[in-house]
Amino acid sequence: MPLPAARTPLAELAPSIALGALDGRYRGAVAPLVDHLSEAALNRARLHVEVEWLLHLVEHDVVPGAPGLSAQEQEALRALVVDFDADSIGELKVIEAETVHDVKAIEYFLRGRLVDLLTGSDAESEGGGAEGTSRAEALGQLIHFACTSEDINNTSYALMVQGAVQEVWLPRARALVDQLSAMARELAEVPLLAHTHGQPATPTTMGKELAVLAHRLTRQLRRIEQCAYLGKLNGATGTYGAHVEAVPGADWQQISRSFVEHLGLEWNPLTTQIESHDWQAELYADVARFHRILHNLATDMWTYISLGYFAQVRGQGTVGSSTMPHKVNPIRFENAEANLEVSNALLDVLATTLVTSRLQRDLTDSSMQRNIGSALGHGLLALDNVSRGLSGLDAVPEAMAADLDRNWEVLAEPVQSVMRALAARGVEGMSNPYERLKELTRGRRIGQAELVDFVRGLGLPAEEEERLVALTPATYVGLAPELVAHLDQR
């Protein structure tokens, strides 16, 4: 039977119900991104850029004869950004309903605040009255002066993404890599049966395998940390056309550069109407690569848990199965896999779409960039889940040791390698080592006794024979424990 037709419309309930999981079920894990990548954050960033552009023009006397602003007035204008709140958001919504243009709404909002500042009761005595009105009208002309909307949007998005990555995503990612590195050091000497192609292979240690993943993740973090966040302010087609006509004597390239760098961004000197977004594509590709390695970690940990190498015991008060009481499912790693896949799908489409714009401008980037928050949000949720998953694990060395002890055939590799080295030195009786070990081990299990008998019958020099007889799968780990120390050199 289908759902009843006459049901309560959930879309009409208050408070409003989230459509997506990030703003609903998982809000707590991703809430810090709201301060950077939400629509409200975009408008606050736009307001910040518009205020700073006005102040930049005034401070550098770019338009000769335009009024100045006192230090107190400048502070008051900057306070509009600091104090941007629900009332500001509501007022902007009303203005945008009239302008049907989000950036123009910011311009009108700021102009209204400037009038209030220069003509209201709090205005300086010498700036009030008719003079204040005159100053407000004159300075109001410098709000959004010579700008296209994209001058405001590209710098706003650069600041937003910079803040989201540097203040939210990167700290979480670094913490996770540190957590993984600590596990690697702790388990550096715990022997582990490796599996290549899903088959028993040369033993390693659990710590070394975790260190490999930590090392890979660290390399990607370095790339992400070095990202350049670009911005431009050069008008409707990147030519400074309006700028030059309005104030021919100004060095507009230097003014643009100093402003963009004042915002904490890197200046892009050559653009169309839009900043080219190549830096965004580079960043999203690097983040997606980090996520893919993290996905590899999640699937490996899931497999190690299924093999019994880790027990999920700490902090596991959850229900694993609604019908099987014994189960504790590796849900943190499974949840991470799913969210990493969603995040990367969005990051990939952002990276591939944003680098293309028809001729001097189309609006595909405008819609596309509104998905940056979702892309990083699903990634942030995955980081949280992997971290929580790792925190709930205890290594089970006994299970790893038992698997090693069931697979003595992995010692065929060192035995034949010793034979090859001896044959190369001219020792008799060491011919065809690979083939002889293959005949002993291929397609069947052997135990310690069989391997020892084989080694004793080879006629090896006494020193090599005793060394191989003493070797076990658990001790055949090469330099694995020492390799973990490379994590300390990053």
Which active-site residues does the annotation give?
197, 321
- List, in sequence order, every residue forming a beta bridge with 230; answer none if it has no partner: 266
Residue keyed to tokens 């309903």: 97
DSSP assignment letter at 351: H
Strands 393-395 and 310-312: antiparallel
Burial class (CB in 10 A: 0-12, 13-18, 19+), 436: middle
CA proximity to 285, closest of 341, 380, 349: 349
Mapping DSSP to helix (H, G, I), strand (E, B) and coil, where does residue 367 land? Answer: helix
- Pair of tokens at residue 126: 């010498």
Neighbour-count burial for 385-414, b at 16+ CB within 10 Å, e otherwise:
bbbbbbebbebbeeebbebbeebbbbbbbb
Residue keyed to tokens 């703003």: 23
CA proximity to 220, closest of 302, 300, 284, 301: 284
Alpha carbon distances (Å) from 391 to 22, 101, 196, 310, 449: 23, 48, 27, 11, 40
Burial class (CB in 10 A: 0-12, 13-18, 19+), 474: middle
Burial class (CB in 10 A: 0-12, 13-18, 19+), 45: buried
CA proximity to 116, closest of 89, 76, 84, 59: 76
CA proximity to 147, closest of 62, 256, 6: 256
Backbone angles phi, psi at 439, to 5 degrees: -60, -35
Amino acid letter, residue 120: G
